[in-house]
Amino acid sequence: MSAVNTETIDMLGGVSTNTIAGLLLKIGNMRTRAIRGVRPLNRDCCRFVGPAFTVRYVPVREDLTESASLASPTSHLAGTLDNLPRGCVMVFDMMRDETSGCVGDVLMSRMIVQGVAAVVCDGGMRDTSAIARMAIPVWCAATAPPPSARSLMAADVQTMIACGGVMVRPGDIVVGDEDGVAVIPAHLAEEVARKGVEQERVEAWIRRKVERGAKLAGLYPPREESQAACRAWVAAGSPEEG
Q: Which amino acid is at 121?
A: C
Alpha helices in 1-96 (DSSP H): 6-12, 17-26, 65-68, 77-81
Minimum CB separation from a second copy for residue 52, in Å? 13
Integer-rounded Cα radius of gyration of the chain:
20
**Cβ nearer to a second copy, comparing 6 with 37:** 37
How far is Cα 162 from Cα 169, in angstroms, rounded to an integer?
Answer: 9
**Cβ nearer to a second copy, comparing 204 with 237:** 204
**Cβ nearer to a second copy, comparing 25 with 237:** 25
Minimum CB separation from a second copy for residue 220, in Å? 5
Burial class (CB in 10 A: 0-12, 13-18, 19+), 131: buried
Q: Which of 33, 50, 71 is nearest to 162 (CA)?
A: 33
**Cβ nearer to a second copy, comparing 7 with 179:** 179
Minimum CB separation from a second copy for residue 48, in Å? 14
